[in-house]
Copies of this chain bind each other. A is one copy, B any other.
């Protein structure tokens, strides 16, 4: 590609598993961004690091020393992941122009609560960008979420902006379903303006399914591989209908869900009532709950406002074949695709996203989508830490 720029995107998810890193070739910026994934790796954290992260992220009592040390340690580990990524990609890391690092979320509260007499919502990502900038020499954008929240947004989701930039289509309306623990649907009408993009959480993604699988296998299995357990079960209609009657599903978007609605308490309720049922049937019912709540949300809240042609699925749930089958059956009017079919592999999507958001910041473009985050207006996201390559960077000229 001509005038392209090599950008590394780094993502560490709330699962605390490790660091996802994408080497991306980007041309242009804003609505004219084109991106090509050159290489992707996922590097697990060492158990001792994961343990500290878990302590900090799970609300346990710690000292500020632990957060401070962990912030610096993660920055060092991130820089090593960049070296590894460049090595396996056969790219000299000096050729990378920019890094976008999401960091590890150790706290996120999008609804304000009273703190020292003020209503405060907040988010905190760690992984000191100074080490990325120093060790790789590459100017780094980090800490994307606070800037959106400072403008009244929820700091999430940020990926719908990337979806809009990469996947909007002049003729096709697209729902870009992301099935993580929670299921989220950015929807992009054909030839949409940015403010026409909607995004909200439909409810549980894999969260309930995974919890049931972990429970019944005593932790041996962590998820329903390809949906095989669900496939072998039968839906329990009484259970399903009772769960689908929960208020969340009928609430008008924008809305966001989390462990508060569909975490342990929800699963416990499920288990307590249904102890006489077979494991397969419970998993099948949980999968059907995910499928129906997504399908209903699309039919109730998306399609009435804009014609949709495709449903492109990403996230862990994109591997659940039974879930995809159920979505196809429930939404016959949509072509159900795997996100891979749009050119970005499912597992790399978020890391690619933060490479693109870094490129936006670097070009002084806003990177949040107020219609998705609820922010009052678009803002240039993140914080810029200069690596030694600032001397040769295109796009920034000191006075």
Contact = CB atoms under 8 A, between A and B. Distances in A.
A69 B122 contact: yes
A364 B398 contact: yes
Contacts of A150: 75, 128, 130-131, 133-135
Interface string A146-175: 110111000000000000000000000000
Contacts of A120: 69, 72-73, 76
B68 A142 contact: no
A107 B66 CA distance: 9
Interface residues of A, number: 67
Given A48-B116, A116-B73, A134-B150, A109 B65 contact: yes
Residue among A71, A122, A133 with the highest chain B CB neighbour number at 10 A: A122
A152 B188 CA distance: 47
How many monomers of this chain does the complex have? 2
A62 interface: yes
Contact of A384 (B49, B59, B134, B384): B384
Interface string A358-399: 000101110000000000000110111110001100111111
Contacts of A146: 72, 128, 130
A397 B396 CA distance: 6
A236 interface: no
A38 interface: no
A49 to B, nearest CB: 5
Nearest to A66: B115
A122 B52 CA distance: 16
Contacts of A117: 46, 48
A326 to B, nearest CB: 37
Interface in A105-151: 106-107, 109, 115-118, 120-124, 128-131, 133-135, 142-143, 146-147, 149-151
Interface of A: 46, 48-49, 52, 56-57, 59-65, 67-73, 75-76, 106-107, 109, 115-118, 120-124, 128-131, 133-135, 142-143, 146-147, 149-151, 361, 363-365, 379-380, 382-386, 390-391, 394-399
